[in-house]
Amino acid sequence: MKYIIRILFITIITLVCVGYYFKNSGDHAFGDKLVGIGILVASFILMPIFIYHRWKNKKVKDYMLTEENLRKMRDYGKKNESKPQ
């Protein structure tokens, strides 16, 4: 999965760079198409794959503000306040 994300990222960067090259050399329509395809691939293919890869095997409850997590944060703050620096 990590390699697929890297290959997609490099492909998107290449598409955008080549698109801007074509725009600067005079073929604005083709350059705009390449840049647009790069942005669409980044937003609709790369980002969902990246988010899935990063959140896989994580507990969502650890990141939510539940009573238990709020109590842990308060206890952690009190413990650090009592330590001399």
pTM of the model: 0.70
- Looking at residue 5, its pLDDT comes to 96
Tokens at 7, concatenated = 């290959």
Domain map (residue ranges) of the chain: 2-82
- Looking at residue 84, its pLDDT comes to 63
Are 43 and 16 a contacting pair, CB within 8 Å? no
Question: Tens digits of per-residue pLDDT, 29-63?
Answer: 999 999 999 999 999 999 999 999 998 888 888 78
Single out the residue of 6, 4, 32, 7 nearest to residue 19, CA to CA: 32
Residue 63 CA, chain-centre distance (Å), reads 17
Amino acid at position 7, single letter: I
Question: Tens digits of per-residue pLDDT, 9-31?
Answer: 999 999 999 999 999 999 999 99
Q: At what angle do helices 2-25 and 28-41 cross, to 10 degrees?
A: 160
Are 35 and 19 a contacting pair, CB within 8 Å? yes
